[in-house]
Amino acid sequence: MSDISSYRDLQVWQKSIDLVTDCYRLSSKFPPDERFGLTSQLRRAATSVPANIAEGNGRGTTKSFVHFLWIANGSLAELETHILIAERLGFVTREDTRPLFEAMSTIGRMLTGLRRSLKQSMQGDCSPF
């Protein structure tokens, strides 16, 4: 990870930003009366994933970074739940959501890999890189 100078260099952050964009597009299909309900919650959960990756990196210690990666993982699970609810309510179809579930699965694996890598580096020093 020595060639990483910013959270913006992390592929998991980049993919999470793409996921946010996709979630905004998906939620634009929801009924207008859901603007302050499920639409808002889904968008908040989606934006929380890259935001927590960035915040964890910005904290300056590996321990904090790992902690915030766990929070990002939790937001990913929350997002999955909101998307499943939208499906059940008939706001979107499984065809609409399939690419998002694939992206969430990839991001989840990437978060796990990054956490493992950072935990291994914790034995050496306390910087996130």
Mean pLDDT, rounded, of the chain: 93
pLDDT of residue 2: 46
pLDDT tens sequence across 72-111? 999 999 999 999 999 999 999 999 999 999 999 999 999 9
The pair phi, psi for residue 81, each rounded to 5°, is -60, -45
Distances (CA, A) of 15 to 33, 53, 104, 110: 30, 11, 9, 10
Copy the structure tokens of residue 63: 């321990």
Rounded Cα gap, residues 87 and 81, in angstroms:
10
All structural domains of the chain, each given as residue ranges with its CATH number in brackets, are 9-121 (1.20.1440.60)
- CA-to-CA distance for 60 and 85, rounded, in angstroms? 36
d(CA 41, CA 67): 22
